[in-house]
Amino acid sequence: MATYSNPQYSAANYQTNRPRYRETLVDTILAYHKRDNPGAETNVAVDVATGTGIFARQLPAHFAKVMATDISGTMLESARASSASQAIEYVESAAEDLSFLGDSSVDVMTVATGAHWFDTERFAAEARRVLRPTGTLAIFGYTGFGHFVDYPQCDKIIKEFGLGDDRLGRFWDRGREVLVNGYREYHAIFTRDAWTHVTRNIYPNTIEGESAANVPAVVGSGPVVMDFQ
Amino acid at 29: I
Who's near 28: CB < 8 A, 6+ residues apart? 224
Note the Cα 35 to chain centre separation in Å. 21
Greater pLDDT, 173 or 190 = 190
Q: Which of 173, 182, 187 is nearest to 137 (CA)?
A: 187
Under a CB-based contact definition with an 8 Å cutoff, are residues 201 and 25 in contact?
no
Q: 215: number of CA atoms within 13 Å, CB side?
A: 22
For the chain, the helix, strand and coil percentages under 3-state DSSP, each to the nearest 5:
35, 15, 45
Count of other CB atoms within 10 angstroms of residue 170: 9
The pLDDT score that the predictor gives to residue 212 is: 37
Domains of the chain: 2-144+174-219 (3.40.50.150)
According to DSSP, the residues that pair with 108 across neighbouring strands are 45, 136
Coil, strand or helix: which one is 207?
coil
The pLDDT score that the predictor gives to residue 177 is: 78
Q: Which of 16-25, 48-57, 172-181, 210-219 shows the lowest per-residue confidence on average (mean pLDDT)?
A: 210-219
- Mean pLDDT of the region 8-33: 83
- Mean pLDDT of the region 147-156: 77
Who's near 144: CB < 8 A, 6+ residues apart? none
- Mean pLDDT of the region 162-188: 79
Q: Which of 41-45, 111-115, 163-167 shows the lowest per-residue confidence on average (mean pLDDT)?
A: 163-167
Q: Which of 42-56, 93-107, 131-145 shows the lowest per-residue confidence on average (mean pLDDT)?
A: 131-145
Under a CB-based contact definition with an 8 Å cutoff, are residues 83 and 61 in contact?
no
Q: How far is CA 23 from CA 56, 93, 225, 227, in A?
A: 12, 26, 9, 10
The pLDDT score that the predictor gives to residue 172 is: 66
Res 2 pLDDT > 60: no
The pLDDT score that the predictor gives to residue 144 is: 63
Q: Where are the beta strands (DSSP E) in the chain?
A: 44-48, 65-70, 88-92, 106-112, 131-140, 201-202, 218-219
